Amino acid sequence: MSLLAYVETYGCQMNVADTEIVLGLLLGAGYERTHDPAAADVILINTCAVREKAVERVWGRASTLATYKAKRPKVVLGITGCMAEHLRGQVRARAPFVDLVVGPDGYRRLLAHIEEARAGAKIDDTTLDPHETYQGLDPARDASGTVVGHIAVQRGCDRFCAFCVVPYTRGRERGTDPDEVLRQARALVAAGGKEVRLLGQTVTSYRNGNVGFAALLRELAGIDGLARIRFMSPYPLGFSEDVIAAMAASAKICKHVHLPLQSASDTVLARMRRGYSFAQYRELVGALRAALPGVAITTDVLVGFCGESEQEFAEILRALQELRFDNAFTFAYSERPDTLAARTMADDVPADVKQRRLAQVIDLQRQITGEIHAAQVGRCERVLLEAPSRRSPDELLGRTDTFRSVIVPAGASAALGALVDVRIERANPATLFGSLIT
Ligand code: SF4
C-alpha cells in the first residue's frame, strides 16, 4: 500500500508553486496525496515568513499536527519553505517534535530526508544554493489545478527592501533556463492546461544568459494551445518598454499587472529602500495604461512602516484616489527579524494606529474596486473557467483577462477549462456574476 502525504501551504503564489513541486516529487516516488492529516504518513507544512501573523499561525498548526504524530510515531512531520529557512535556529527549540526542517533550496533532497526521518533521524537542510532553479522538477497538477499552472521562472531577490525577509530566505535572483520554462509550459498544455502563470519576486527582471523577460514572453506566446500567459510580480523598476511592447503585441499575454506600490510617500519609499519615487511609479502606470488599453493594475500597500507620519500615510490615500487601482492587497507592517528595518529602525507606529490606517486603505480601495466592478455590469467578457465555485456545485469560477473573478452557471458549454463569452449581470467589490452568451 502506498504511503500517504499531506501538505499544507501558507503564503504567496511562489509557495503554492513550491508545494506543486514537492507533491510532484512525492507522487513520482509512489506516495499518494491525502487531504486528511490524520491518515498521513508524511505531514509537511510549507511555510511563509513574510508576515508575523503567518509565522504565528504555523507554530499553532505544527502543534496541532504533532498530535497525529503522537498517535502514530512513524509519521514524519516537516516544516519546509521560507520559515524553515528564516527561523531554522528556533524551530528545534519551539517545536522539538518536528522531524524535518527543509528550506526552499533543499527540495531536491526531500525524498532522501523523509527516508532518514522515517528511520528516526532529525534533519535540518537550510543551505541556500545560488544555482538551484528546480530544473527538471515537474510540479504535480491536481484536477482543479490543470487549467492553470504556475511556473517559477525566477527564484530569489536582489533588492533587499528594508522590511522584507525574502532575500534572506530565498537567496539571490536566478532565472530558470528558458528551455525548461517552455518545456513546463508545453507539458501543462499537454495535460489540458490553458493558462500559465509565471512567478518571480521581481519577475520582469528575469534573465538567463541572453534571454530577458520580454523574449521569454514572446517564446511562450508561440506555444499552440496555450490560451493565456500571466506573470507576477513585476518590480516598478526594470519594467522595460520591451516587456510592455511584448504584452501589447500578443492577445495571449493578459492585460493585468500586479505592481507593488507599498507607499506613495517618497520619504517612506526611501526608508523602505524601494529605489523609486512615487513620480516614477506614476509614470510607469501611465505608460502601461497608454500602451495597454483596458489594462487592470493591482497593487500591494504596506501601512505603518517605521516612522510613518500622518502626512506620509495621507499620501497613500491620495495615491489610491489618483491611480484608482483595480484592487490592492493591504498590510500593516510587522517587523521581521534580520531585515534592515529590524536592525536599524524603530517599529514605532503604535499597533492601534497601524490598524486604523489599514482599515482606512481597505475601506477606500473597497469603494474604488466596487465602483470599477459596477462599471463592468452589462459588458461582455471572455472568461476562462478555472475552478468549481465554492458557493455552489452548479457554478464555476472563471477569470477575465484582467484577473477579475466571475461566477457563471455550469453547463454543457461551460466546463472547466473552457474559454467562454460572458455577459456581466451584477457585481460586488469582490466578484462579478455573469451569464453565458450562447
Ligand atoms: S522586491 Fe523587495 S519586497 Fe519584493 S521580494 Fe524583493 S526584497 Fe522583498
Round to whole Å and give the CA distance between 49 and 278: 27
Grid cell in block for residue 44: 509537511
Sign of the alpha-carbon dihedral angle for 286, 291, 296, 297: negative
Q: Is the peptide bond before 405 cis (omega within 30 degrees of 0)?
A: no
Nearest CA to ligand 1 atom 8: 164
**Dihedral (CA of 148, 151, 152, 154) sign:** negative
Q: Could you say which architecture CATH assigns to the domain 139-254?
A: 2-Layer Sandwich (3.30)
Separation of 100 CA from ligand 1 center, angstroms? Answer: 27
pLDDT in the model for residue 390: 86
User: How far from the centroid of its chain's Cα atoms is residue 19's Cα?
Assistant: 12
Q: Which three cell numbers stand for residue 12?
A: 504567496
Q: Which numbered atom of ligand 1 lies nearest the CA of 157? A: 6
Ligand 1 pocket, residue 78 CB under 6 Å = no
Our answer on whether the CB atom of 118 is closer than 6 Å to any ligand 1 atom is no
How far apart (Å, rounded) are the C-alpha atoms in residues 343 and 363? 32
Q: Is there an atom of ligand 1 within 6 Å of 157 CB?
A: yes
Confirm or reject: Cβ of 14 under 6 Å from ligand 1.
no
pLDDT at 268: 98
Q: How far apart are CA 177 and CA 155, in angstroms?
A: 12
- Bridge partners of 229? 196, 253
**CA–centroid distance, residue 291 to ligand 1 (Å):** 26
Ligand 1 neighbourhood includes 186 CB (under 6 angstroms) = no
Check: CB of residue 278 under 8 Å from CB of residue 319.
yes
The CATH 2.40.50.140 portion of the chain extends over: 380-436
255-375, CATH topology level: Transcription Regulator spoIIAA (3.30.750)
Q: What's the pLDDT score for residue 145?
A: 54
Nearest CA to ligand 1 atom 1: 159
Residue 235 Cβ contacting ligand 1 at under 6 Å = yes
Closest ligand 1 atom to residue 202 Cα is 1
For the chain, the farthest-separated pair of C-alpha atoms sits apart, in whole angstroms, at: 64
Fold (topology level) of 4-125: Rossmann fold (3.40.50)
**pTM of the shown model:** 0.91
Dig out the grid coordinates for 16 from the structure: 503554492
Enter the CATH code of domain 380-436.
Answer: 2.40.50.140
In this structure, the residue with its CA closest to atom 2 of ligand 1 is 161
Q: Could you tell me the distance, in angstroms and rounded to a whole number, from the CA of residue 12 to the centre of ligand 1?
A: 12
pLDDT tens, residue order, the chain (438 aa)? 789 999 999 888 888 888 989 999 999 999 999 999 999 999 999 988 777 788 888 889 999 999 998 888 889 999 998 888 887 778 888 888 999 999 888 889 999 999 999 999 999 998 888 888 888 888 887 645 589 999 999 999 999 999 999 998 888 999 999 999 999 999 999 999 999 999 999 999 999 999 999 999 999 999 999 999 999 999 999 899 999 999 999 999 999 999 999 999 999 999 999 999 999 999 999 999 999 999 999 999 999 999 999 999 999 999 999 999 999 999 999 999 889 999 999 999 999 999 999 999 999 999 999 999 999 999 999 999 999 888 888 999 999 999 999 999 987 777 889 999 999 999 999 999 999 997
Return all residues near 322 (Cβ < 8 A) that are at least 6 apart. 282
Minimum-distance ligand 1 atom for the alpha carbon of 274: 2
What CA–CA distance (Å, rounded) separates 426 from 374? 7
User: Is 61:45 a contact under the CB 8 Å cutoff?
Assistant: yes
Q: How far is the CA of 14 from the centre of ligand 1 (A)?
A: 13
Distance 182 CA to ligand 1 centre (A): 26
Q: Is the CB of residue 198 below 6 angstroms from any atom belonging to ligand 1?
A: no
Cell matching residue 317: 490615500
Is the CB of 159 within 6 Å of ligand 1? yes
Q: Residue 11: its pLDDT value, please?
A: 84
Cα separations (Å) of 301 from 68, 316, 328, 360? 39, 8, 7, 12
Which residues of the chain are in CATH 3.30.750.210 domains?
A: 139-254
Please answer whether residues 82 and 46 qualify as being in contact, where contact means their C-beta atoms are separated by less than 8 angstroms: no
What pLDDT, on the 0 to 100 scale, is given for residue 34?
Answer: 94
Q: Which three cell numbers stand for residue 93?
A: 527549540
Ranges in the chain annotated CATH 3.30.750.200: 255-375
Specify the pairing of strand 327-332 against strand 154-155. unpaired
CA distances from 204 to 49, 187, 241 (A): 23, 23, 11
The CATH 3.40.50.12160 portion of the chain extends over 4-125
Name which of 369, 373, 371 is nearest 427 in CA terms: 373
